[in-house]
Amino acid sequence: MSQPTQQEEFLAEQSHPRPPGAPVEEEAKGLSQGQIVRKRFLGHSGAIAGLFIFAIIFLMAFTSVGWAGIPGWWKYDHLDVSPLVNDGVPTASLWPPAWGEHPFGQDRIGRDLFAMTMRGAQQSIIIMLLIGIIAGLIGTVVGGLSGYFRGWVEAILMRITDVIIIIPVLLLAAVVAQSVNRRDQGGWFSGFAASNGILILGIFLGLVSWVGLARLMRGEFLTLREREFVDAARISGASNARIIFKHILPNAIGVLIVNVTLTMSAAILLETALSYLGVGVKSPDTSLGLLISQNQEAFSTRPWLFWFPGLFIVLICLSINFIGDGLRDAFDPRQKKFNAKKARGTKPAGEPDKVPAPAGGATTADGSAGD
């Protein structure tokens, strides 16, 4: 009996894209684009939950063990060795709520796991933000220039993109890791790299992860530059810079923000994976991936050393993914509202899901077909 009902539902959804009472006009009335997007984003409970969790982790990671020389409120840092309390078992308990001496436990030599995890979360967040900013900037510039100017600019930039896209990230990370390790061989780069390994890693990963974004932005610019309002601006004498910054970029910003977010969530996993393989963050500094890699052998004796860093990776990545999902729903003009209660009454618009890897199967097909 379910088939006919389902069919009726679909038909109902089809025939009444804007059923009476659906707050479509009200939603958009007197609001700017930014206000509509903000309203939609705030109505997306998953994204708000993600934002909330991420904010808590962010605050905890940066205030607890301190950052860039500023001391934090937690009594240990990731290098301090203290005597084992209760054989290193976590002292935190949910009921009765207690924090204890070492809430996440200690490792074999007595380092505080809470401090190490917080330090690792800091590193992951810094790398994530660096990758997001750098990849977003380069991707927008390269994609925008090649999409707007076409011709030889596009040919050169896109061939460079093609070259970079097939060079394995692992190899680049290994090269960076090696140059960081060569402290003794002098040179300003090695010196800087040795003291700021995490920044170097983030910058390098940012320098290679813009390629997907560049392709997407190129596609976006290609479609937008053919639109009437761009023609109108050009006829009224607007310069290229004005067209790009005032007319095209604001319309492409949604795609950009959404995909930067998704790049950032992939960046977290990339950093942890590289650290796990030994070419990312190196000891004595620590990162979430490195903690797991160091402690996986001890799973049967000290499982908490494995659980807490993993939990934080998953929490950070999951919250960023949910924020990205919320942003996509908010920016997609076809999407009326991603809200379970109201969704029944509105048209189920196809979301251009770019969640993970399939970033632009169709884009590439169209793009290269249009060559």
Partner 1 sequence: MVTYIVRRLITAALILLGASFLVYLLTASSGDPLEEFRASSAPNKQQLMDSRSELLDLDTPAPLRYFKWLGGAARCLVPFAGSCDLGKNIAGQPITEALGFALVQTLTLVTGATILAILIGIALGIITALRQYSALDYGVTFMAFLFFSLPIFWVAVLLKEYGAIGFNDFLRNPEIPLPVALGIGAVAGIIVAVAVGGAARRRVVSGGMVFLAVSLILIYFSVVQWFRNPGLGPVVIAIAGVGLAFAVTLLVSGLKNRKALQSSLIVVGLGVVAYFAVQPLLNQATAVMIVLLGVATIGVGVATGYLMGGYDRGQSMRAAGITAFLVGGLILMDRFMQAWPSYFSNSRVRGRPIATIGAGTPNIQGDFWVLTLDTFTHLILPTTALILVSLASYTRFTRSSMLEIMNMDYIRTARAKGLSERSVVMGHAFRNALIPIATIVAFDIGALIGGAVITETVFSVRGMGFLFLDGIMHTDPNPVMGVFVCVAVTAMVFNLIADLAYSALDPRVRIKA
Binding site for partner 1 (CB under 8 A): 1-7, 10-11, 14, 159, 162-163, 166-168, 170-172, 174-175, 178, 265, 269, 272-273, 276-277, 279, 289, 292-293, 296, 299-300, 306, 310, 313-314, 317-318, 321-322, 325, 340, 343-344, 347-353, 355-358, 361-362, 364-366, 368-371
Query: Given the complex with partner 1, which of 220 and 325 has the nearer CB atom?
Result: 325
Whichever of 244 and 268 has its CB closer to partner 1, that residue is 268
Shortest Å, Cβ 246 to partner 1: 31
Q: How far is the CB of 64 from partner 1 (least distance, A)?
A: 23
CB closer to partner 1, 129 vs 174: 174
75 vs 159 by CB, closer to partner 1: 159
Find the shortest distance in angstroms from Cβ 172 to partner 1: 7
Residue that is written with structure tokens 């950070």 in the block: 316
Question: Contact 304/104 with Cβ under 8 angstroms?
Answer: yes
CB of 350 to partner 1, least distance (A): 3
* Distance in angstroms (rounded) separating the CA atoms of residues 34 and 40: 10
Closest CA relative to residue 113, chosen from 328, 343, 304: 304
Cα dihedral value 135, 136, 142, 145, nearest 10:
-170
Q: Which of residues 85 and 172 has its CB atom nearest to partner 1 in the complex?
A: 172
Closest to partner 1 by CB, 249 or 269: 269
Rounded to 5°, the CA angle 242-367-357 comes to 100
Give the whole-angstrom CA distance, residue 365 versus residue 186.
Answer: 48
Cα 82 vs. chain centroid, distance in angstroms?
A: 36
Alpha-carbon distance of 293 to 291, in angstroms, equals: 5
**Torsions phi, psi of 29, nearest 5?**
-70, 125
Nearer to partner 1, 240 or 364 (CB): 364
Q: How far apart are CA 140 and CA 154, in angstroms?
A: 13
Closest approach, Cβ 276 to partner 1, in A, equals 5
Q: Least CB distance from residue 24 to partner 1, whole Å?
A: 16
We find the least distance from the C-beta atom of residue 254 to partner 1, in angstroms, to be: 16
Q: Quote the least distance from Cβ 318 to partner 1, whole Å.
A: 4
If the CB atoms of residues 244 and 305 are measured against partner 1, the closer one turns out to be 305
By C-beta, is 230 or 290 nearer to partner 1? 290
Q: How far is the CB of 232 from partner 1 (least distance, A)?
A: 28
